[in-house]
Chains A and B, each alone.
Chain A
Amino acid sequence: MHSIIPRLNQGQALLTGKSRLQTVLCLSLFLMGLTLTQAAQELDIDRYRQGERVPIHISGFDSATIAPLVFDLEIQGFESTTKEKAVFELNASSSGDQWRVRLADAQGGASIFYRGYPGPAGRSQAHVIADEVVQAVFGTKGIAQSMIAFRGKSGGVWEIYVADYDGHRLSQVTRDQSHVAAPTWIPGKLGLYYTSYKVGSPNIVSHDLRSGQRTRITRNSGLNTSAAISPDGGKVAMILSKSGSPDLYVARQDGSGEVRLTQSREEEACPTWSKDGKTICFTSSARGGVRLFTIPASGGNPKRLTTGSVSGMITEPDWSPDGQWIAFTSMSGGVGYICVVSASGGQAEVLTQGEDPCWAPNSRNLVFMRQKKGRKTLSLLDVPTKHVKDILQTAAEQSQPSWAR
């Protein structure tokens, strides 16, 4: 049986054509000088789109750079290995106060790129280099310079945090000493929506991270939570209980003009938007089991999203930014599993143990929560290779991750 997990786009030959190289140039923020050489031979990249990791030999980097660089590449489909086993060679050499990085065919020796970078090296430059390698090899935008939000628990209180995607460069967003839940990014903006218990009942607030301005989006008794912002930023889907049962609603991004989309007695939860903003996927227990449904964002009849033989309590859908996939959690016997299914439903694939998956902007990686020794921690998953790495744990517990995209 063929794997149905997301693959990289087909038909993107490695380093053919000038435009690809120009794109790489534009993305290089720290570019000083370079030599570009067309790859002497076309590598068979398709096999690495099927879930095989790309062997790469990394050498010459200093200790501050090597660890984040290996992390960045290994979570995006590469495997750090010996020169003998490698397909690609990534080598750094220092020259005065600058240093040079070459990506080459490990066996043939042909250069793919050769660049100078200002010193000293470090974590942020490792992210830049990793994303340039991903761009050069796969032709897709890397995620090493992206950010995540999540809630972290320290001293018994949950607060909202933002960090680099690997958990480093942590910033604490709330200091309410109250209780928070369900942070979610505003697409393309340095801002979040989340649920705050500070205002009497749990209500949704927006938070502009630059100014600190917070605005209440809902003002109701009961439950107001699980905000999800439409890809164009114009609307918010959310769960409100004002009808007497938790239902799915859609409103303008400031909370006005709300429309109730479900009318079930049972609880709805966890909305997520399709790429075109026309459809919402959510969780409902309206027919006994806990299952996924889709519904037009303008209202209509909920339609079951099939997941094949994957059963259990099916919750926490997250629609990939490219619109093709829905990741979700299947809970069975108290154990959660991260799963992916085609956005039109079908046979879902179980990827690893965990809960609450959220897609990266590349529609390839997921950040998710898993329990370790009874504590909630965050990890990253490379969906095609199923490779998992833990992010830096900066609080006693961390959960409900949201990837900026």
Chain B
Amino acid sequence: MNWPTLIVRTALVVTLATLAVGCKKGNKNLTPIPGAGDAYAGSGTGAAGSMMQGDGLGSGDSLNGGNFPNGSDLSGGGYGLPNDPNRFAGKDETKLDTETVYFEFDRYTINASELPKVRRVAGILKSKSAALLRVEGHCDERGTEEYNRSLGERRALSIRDMLVEEGISPDRITTESWGEDRPAVDGNDESAHGKNRRGEFVLLQ
């Protein structure tokens, strides 16, 4: 490849990339998480700014060989949101093992073969009107850790979107991504990877 061609191709790729990112703004079929606005202001448990003063990281800092003070409690304070994650805590949990949805590598779209599972879960939620649902998103190990955390969330949200399309209120569903941190099975072949790229359902009652 000569240089002019390379430059033209590079320019084209850059242009397409910009267009592609710029055009993906449509939020059709995306279901925002209720109450997750910017309404949490003022609910902090401490002054986050306090650590910014007078405690610079100097070359004389020592780690005290493991003698850091224990981290303060994180459980207080509440969320004050309609979709407060605490609403999903403290319930009896039933994992719907047979309905686990599997994904293609690096994809978050739900295959036709997996649709009946999602519809069955929607049916369960319709028959148990007080029940809530946690959708857990997981990945195989072939991505990087934080990218997989985003991808796992995207998968869980795809399932959530489909449940909403089936008539389930988004208020009843919470998502939780574990990325590659909790594989269903060990192993580094496609058999293991395929079992690890998944969305799991946990019924909360």
Contact = CB atoms under 8 A, between A and B. Distances in A.
Interface of A: 29, 145, 147, 158, 162-164, 169-176, 179, 181-182, 185-186, 188-191, 195-202, 205-217, 219-223, 225-226, 233, 239-246, 253-256, 258, 262-270, 283-288, 290-291, 293, 301-304, 306, 313, 315-316, 329, 331, 334, 336, 355-356, 369, 374, 399-400, 404
B70 interface: yes
A222 B61 CA distance: 37
Contacts of B38: 258
Given A215-B46, A336-B144, A173 B59 contact: no
Interface residues on B, range: 35 or more
B4 interface: no
Contact of A179 (B69, B108, B161, B181): B181
B130 interface: no
B49 to A, nearest CB: 6
B14 A306 contact: yes
A212 B85 CA distance: 24
Contact of A286 (B20, B45, B108, B181): B20
B33 A222 contact: yes
The 9 A-B residue pairs with the shortest CB-CB distance in the complex, in nearest-first order = A200-B85, A287-B20, A212-B69, A242-B36, A304-B17, A254-B48, A244-B30, A223-B153, A208-B51
B167 to A, nearest CB: 17
B175 A221 contact: yes
A244 B47 contact: no
Give the interface centre of A189, A208, A374, A399 by most chain B CB atoms within 10 Å: A208
Interface in B49-90: 49-52, 55-57, 59-61, 63-75, 77, 79-81, 83-86, 88-89
A21 to B, nearest CB: 19
A198 B18 CA distance: 38
B111 interface: no
Contacts of B8: none
Given A163-B63, A202-B177, A255 B151 contact: no
Q: Is the interface of B mostly helix, strand, loop or mixed?
A: loop
Nearest to B88: A200
Contact of B149 (A185, A226, A264, A329): A226
Contacts of A171: 63-68
Contact of A253 (B48, B64, B154): B48
A158 B182 CA distance: 11
Interface stretch (B21-29, B95-103, B195-203): B21-29
Contacts of B31: 244
Give the interface centre of B27, B77, B84, B145 by most chain A CB atoms within 10 Å: B145
A192 to B, nearest CB: 10
A187 to B, nearest CB: 8
Contacts of B88: 200
A246 B52 contact: no
A181 B24 CA distance: 29
Contact of B142 (A170, A233, A270, A334): A334
A270 B178 CA distance: 15
B59 A267 contact: no
Contacts of A284: 21
Contact of A306 (B13, B36, B186): B13
Interface in B129-153: 141-147, 149-151, 153
Contacts of B37: 242
8 contacts: A163-B63, A173-B68, A202-B176, A219-B79, A220-B40, A222-B175, A266-B24, A267-B147
Contacts of B71: 173-176, 207, 212, 214
B166 interface: no
B150 A169 contact: no
B43 interface: yes
Interface of B: 10, 13-14, 16-18, 20-22, 24-27, 30-33, 36-38, 40-41, 43-52, 55-57, 59-61, 63-75, 77, 79-81, 83-86, 88-89, 106, 108, 141-147, 149-151, 153-154, 157, 161, 174-179, 181, 186, 188
B74 A355 contact: no
A223 B52 contact: no
Contacts of A209: 68
Nearest to B56: A188
A202 to B, nearest CB: 7
Given A176-B71, A285-B151, A374-B186, 8 more contacts: A175-B70, A188-B56, A198-B74, A221-B81, A221-B174, A246-B150, A254-B48, A267-B108
A242 to B, nearest CB: 3
A205 B74 contact: yes
A196 B71 CA distance: 12
A244 B150 contact: no
A283 B89 CA distance: 32
A209 B11 CA distance: 47
A222 B153 contact: yes
A185 B60 CA distance: 17
A222 B10 CA distance: 37
A302 B149 contact: no
B25 A221 contact: no
B30 A245 contact: yes
A346 to B, nearest CB: 10
Given A171-B66, A223-B153, A181 B55 contact: no
A200 B80 CA distance: 13
B45 A216 contact: yes
A331 B179 CA distance: 15
A174 B68 CA distance: 10
B145 A400 contact: yes
Contacts of B47: 215, 254
